[in-house]
Structure 1
Amino acid sequence: MQQHRQLAQVSLAFLIASAVTLGMLILTIVLVGQSFRGMEQAKVTAATATARQLAISVDDRIQAITQPPSTALAVLRHDPLTEADTLEQRLDRLPVVADILASSEIVSAVYAGYENGDFFLFRKLQNSSARQFPDAPANSHYLLQSLVRTGNDHQGRWHFYDHNLNLLEQRDLASYNFDPRERPWYQAARESGALTLSAPYVFFTTQETGITLSQRASEKAGTVLGIDVTVTDLGAQLAELKQTPGSRIAILNASGQLLAGSSQDSEPGEVVLQALQPESHSGISQFTRDGRSWYGISEPLESLPGEELSIVVAIPSNELLADVWAALTRQTLIAGAIALLLLLAGWVLGRQVGKPLELLTGQVSRLSRFRFDTPMRSTSHIREASELSIALDDMAHTIRSFQSISTVLNRGQDLKQLLNDILEQLVSIVGQERGAVYLFNSREQKLELSVNRGLELPQAVNPVAPDASDYDVIQELRRYIAGHPVFAVLRNRRSKLIGVLVIEIENGDQTNLSDDLITFVDEIAGSAAVAIETRELIESQQALLDGIIRLVANAIDAKSPYTGGHCERVPKLAQMLVEQAEQSSEGAFASFGMTEDEHYEFHLAAWLHDCGKITSPEYVVDKAVKLETIYNRIHEIRTRFEVLHRDAEITCLKAILAGGDPDQARQDKADVQTRLQEDFRFLAAVNQGSESMEDADIERIHAIAGQTWTRHFSDRLGLSEEEQQALKGHPEPPLPATETLLADKPGHLRAWGEHVPPVRKDDPENRWGFDMSLPEYAYNQGELHNLTVRYGTLTEEERFKINEHIVQTICMLDALPLPDRLARVPRLAGTHHERTDGNGYPCRLTGDDMGVPEKIMAVADVFEALTASDRPYKRGKTLSESLTIMAGMVENGHLDGEVFRLFVSSGVWRDYAEQHLHSDQVDTVDESLFMKP
């Protein structure tokens, strides 16, 4: 008996010899790590010392660059050039200046600024600068830029010379007006009187990095001389000083601008800028760029004390620490061999105590096969094994309880039945009898009783805020529920309130509720919340799918063949611009971002932004000429002209038969027919609508319309019901009837009747906030009314019918049973015709009323419409034409300026053009013209 108790006290942890192995392994890892850190520090220290030597070498090089030009400047200040008053006198000193340019490859220009504002500059036209003067004569080697002032007048002149100073061409440039007295190099030299040196910068003309040396000639002369010196050869020297093949070296100024680098691409500048630490301009740092680890070292340069130059070195850590990693690999292999031996020894010891666990292993394997009804108890002399068997038995019992709940959660598709089953099972498990489930109505912000099992509860609890805490929700419910209830607040995956579970505690001690019981109810409530959310999502998504299917089915019958491409291209363009807005950190986009749900919401809105066009008549949307309805009514008018043409022929013949002058009769006929031909050609041209109408054109149309012809057939036969209703109340004139050549007749008008759209602000049915002007008639097909449209082909009524598509879009999408995460789809889809100045439609929103996504939709819609080449009534505009028009729309308050500038600067228009525009639409675009704030 005593022996049995002694065996039961044996500790499993004491018998596991592998603990020794673990301790040895940890010790080995620590030692190897310390060794690595020491070798790493040594390498970094050596790299730092090398960087300091590199800074000294670069200082010497900069001194060597600036010394020869300084000497040349000191000599030149005593040259007669400094006192020359005329251009001819200065040209005499041109050989001296040319010698200075030829004496050094790094001197790019020599110039003099005179006290009276004259300027004299002589530069070399080398390979880099030649790109800045593409119109220079062939064989040009030098360029002289001179400016001579006489009172308030100035004369700018350029001279091009060959290598031997032979004049090739002389150009007078009235626009060349450069005042050297206003330049920093002139003012600094005049004030100090000594040699002044500018900070290194990139020359505007040659795009070379360099510095400017300037010095006043003398007090008497008042002339300041200057020399531009390039330092681009520093990059080659830096490349030779790299410690490793992948090292990057660069020289930066105080503002972080790259002045010279060890490579010609942009990568060195970006790497070394990241190597700088914000808290220190000198020292060593470690950073990561593009998944690669680097060491950064920064040292100040002393050659130009006032300029705060630095040399920055970035070394890939894998190259710097290559030797260290090799040593670490050897040590790791040795440590691994030792650890393997210890693991083998630990395995032998572990087997001695593993046999008592085999029985538990078999029982656990039955658990893994979902045999939760198998007893888990087993006897063992090892204390931990015995306790483990008890814990496993309790776990199997708990799993059986959860399995029952899981069966309920996954049974059926009806939400009401699901809630009832959950409540029934849960009340039974906790040993109680009564309970209830409330669901949260987010639209009305209240809790509604969904399932009740024997409790006297209110049908609704309100108001309940959607962001209320669990404590606030429970306190609100306690106002209505008496007794001893346990509450579990149901929240979905996004922690949003979806409901509350209530269980009345009647059996047991209500004043001392078990913490385990409360925890269990909370856990079950969490599973129930997920199941509820899943059912709700399935139902809402199914409803949305059904709505979209209905939408597509209707579109098949009514869509225009010219809007399909638009509805496909706008979402792509809008999505491209949204991605750029999220990446931007400027202005309105600094805090802009979209969640996954918001991205899908925007995507869906972009695809459905013109779905209302399925209700727009095709002959209005695609109206190419003014008289077009379902067909082009110019043919009716042509027929009337044919009648008048034949009437003129008949009149001529009657006059001849009556004994009149045949020649005069034929001449009258010819005059009438010629006028008719001219009048018809004019009306046909007007019908095109390609040019704006002047007052004189409208007067001529009315004059032509006043001509009459005789109709002998009834115009009330063969009419549709709609046509008959339009003529109701207008009696038919007796035949034959005299009619004008063009007319606006009652039959051309179509009243709104019972189909007045709710677009007026005071309309009680207008719950969307529309604010649009409603024409008097739904349609006006009057011939004069259509032909006298001043711009384009659309009348006021047709323009409203097209604009109404956005109203239909909002109404149709608002009617869909969209879930909360897609609630903004109607607004996003229905605001792309709003303007930032409040003059858009359908709600006259201003820029402050719209967010970034709405403004992006407007820009995308306009650009696609301008560049589209599949419209029957216009050609697709080029890129430059489209961007120019959009820039004007920004100025007059149509489009948002920040979104348009992002559209231009990001190059989205260029990427879109490559995919969707014809080659003849892609022309050269100067982006700077459209970036003005």
Structure 2
Amino acid sequence: MDPLRESLHDPLPADGTRSSLSGPEVAHPPWWLRFTIPFEVVIASVVVSAMVLLAVLLVYQVGTSARQAIIAASDDSALHISQLISERVHHVVDPADATLRLLVFDPIASATSLQTRLRRLPVLVRLLEQNALLSAVFIGYSDGQFLLVRPLRNATLRARLEAPAEAAFLVQSMARERGTAGAAGTAGLTGRWNYYDAQLKLLDSSVRPNYRYDPRSRPWYALAAERNTQVLTAPYLFFTTQEVGVTLSQPSEDGRAVIGLDVALTDLGQEIGELRLVPRTEIAVVDQDRRVLAYPDMSRVWVREGNDTSLELRTLEELGVPSFQGLQGIDLKAGVTRRLEADGEEWLFKVLSLKSQRWEGLHILMAIPTRELLADVNENLRRQVWLSLALIALMLLFGWLAGRRVGRSLSGLALQAQALARFDFRRPSRRMSPVREVRALGQVMDRMSDTIEEFLHITHHISAESRMDVMLSSVLYELVRATSCTGGAVYLVEAQRTGLARTARYCEDPEQQARYPDHLPMAFFINPTEPQDVDAQDDDQALPQRALRVQLRTRDGQPLGLLVLRYRANQQQDDVHFRAFVEKLSGTLSVAIETRSLIEGQKKLFDAVIRLLADAIDAKSPYTGGHCERVPQLAESLMQRMCEAKDGPFAHVAMTEAERYEFRLGAWLHDCGKVTSPEHIIDKATKLEALYNRIHEVRMRFEVLWRDAELDYWKQHISGVDPERLQRELLQRRERLQDDFAFVARSNVGGEFMAEADVQRLATIGRQVWQRHFDDRLGLSQAEMARLAKVPARSLPANEPLLADRPEHIVPWGARKPPVEADNPANRWGFDMVVPPFEAHLGELHNLSIRRGTLTAEDRFKINDHIVQTIIMLSGLPFPPHLARVPSIAGSHHEKLDGTGYPRRLKGADLTLADRVMTLADIFEALTAADRPYKPPKTLSESLNIMSHMVREQHIDASVFRFFLTSGVWRDYAELFLDPAQRDAVDVDALLASSG
């Protein structure tokens, strides 16, 4: 059907009737009158139909001639093959027959000793070399002696007969040798095997006691002696070689010996197998009882009866050859040629008689697949067909081109309409038609294609572009082109609704950009159809322009902005339908603006919440200072320099906007787990500090001992002890208490390394006793009471050590033990950390004996646990795919290249560039921070020297550290965040050399 013509018919209503307002009903013509054919198809069809008719006639003529050639060729081929097989069969029997007739007169027939017989060995060997079908020549004598000469033509036969590798002939004999007396039968005969090479040089000779062969018991000897003529035996098993064959035998002239020749049927089968004209030709020799005498695969011809050595020949039907199965029930007459179906294809069968003086009633049967035999003829026929088809295709192209010359314009419009139906809105290239109506229709369709294509671009920009300004600029450009306007602009309502701010602008003429100011008052949005001052036209404009303003609102009616389009006054944009179209299209733009605004607002809120969390962590403890704020800025600066690098190890580094945002979030969240870290551990400035500094409790015990010393003094003074001695002892106890407490207080600060002697002194001081008169179990919490449940209460007053590690000081792990061991089934984050045996150990001696610093192993684990909690917390958030690596970026800055870091013991191969940058930024900020109350700030040179040492210890990546030095990021950071006193001179070259 013609799609252009069919599209002109008005569609019927759903009930199949027409309204009376549409005019009188018109009867539809029959379908054969409504059927139309394109003009170019008519021309092409005429040309092609003529060529098809001519080609069919040619192919039919060629096929008929080829069929006749097939019949003639098959008959000639079958006859030729039959003649060749007959000749080959005669070559099998006739040479052996002639050879045998000569041997009966040879002196070997009358020789009486083995030595005499071996003199005729060259004659026998010559006969075997001249006839490859002879398997052996032998002579049996009337007294039981025997001589056989067998060629050893292959390694298999030599191995079977235990012959040397160079052996070419085997002579088997049963003869009377010197020293053996005559006896009946073979009792006085010696079996001997002689091996000769090709020059008849004796290689080996051995007596075979087990070789007891009596020729007179064999069929070939008995039949020849009985009939006194040449005989051909039935197939039987050769005694020595275990081969199946036939024997030609004939008595000698004097009748004292029988001479025989062995012809292996396997040799005959191989000979006829080589006569195939085509690879799949089947050839067999059968007798009058349809028994198969020769076939290329002789193992399929004969079958052994039980364990007997006699053989039975299979019939043609029993042979199992699919092509011969079609001959069942068909009489095999010589000279018959048939074509039969067998095994799913056509075969040519030929039967010829095998004429021989010894074999009567034998036939040669051939089965030749006609497809292979006549492959060349069929190939020629196919070439003729393909040539005809090629000619038809050529004429089809000619007819098509001829039709296109006439109806090209209509055809182009039809193709464009079909392309539109397939949602292909590209404008095709075609020649202009000289017909006015066709040209007008083409222009309309081009305009429609361009408009739809531009609308698709608008949809693509709305869905694909995430940045609001870029999206609006792209959409405005496509919208101006689709509506044939001269320019346009998009204004968005400002935050306080005080006016409209221009977000996007496009003009065909750059000089007209002034018509789209940066700001508009809200009056333009409130009354978009009323003329405004900016709509005034220049008097010198030949074609004045008009403006179309369309409100942009959210789905709940809130104002979003204003779409302004300018067009020439003489265009069709003045039509009300155009305004309605733009208003509907602006709805899509409004939804896109609203969606982008929501996304950007949520993103800003998300970023603000993250910064709020970082600020809260920094404000939580003076020990972190501004760490959570400064590390992201340093890390982002370093990563930005790497992306800008043109050479060096980081020249290939590049990040998309999504990857930059992912890295930024990971950097800002790198210590978010610190919200779970106990403040008294993070802020632990002394060893005895828990929720308070327990040094005050210890000092109070010293006060008690001080009072005890005074009490002892007065008690003894009242008792009449020497006052001077008492005064001296009191002063000594007071000095010792002051000195001991000062030592304990210094140890509590943890500013110096604790030697072993210091630890021993603490133990000595701690063994001093004070007396407790109050119950130590009053006013305790449930957790404290649980820790004392297994400790029996002591009677009062109780002597207590001055310093001790008491049971209530040990806080066991509860249900909140973090799953950070590598073998913990609950560890699904890949942590690999050692968990201390207790959640907390508040023992006084245990804490005061800390060798360096103020933190116990339990305290250190609690602090390190912040990175564990960072990974756990962030892994539980539903990050989108483009932010999936935020937990890894935030939680890997305490790993080391040598795998000794925490919490997952990642090695250098497992750490990304982002992880290495975060590690460096975290360390550099911690070293240079000036707002840490527990340490003085380090200078630039001190910090970088320490980091150089950490590079050698594989704590910091060497290439990242060298880039950090050469890029100058450290200098920019110092200008922003370091005090002037910290910004000392740095020897970058020395640092580069020391860092490898």
The alignment's TM-score, normalised by the length of structure 1, stands at: 0.43
- Please identify the structure whose Cα radius of gyration is greater: 2
The alignment's TM-score, normalised by the length of structure 2, stands at: 0.41
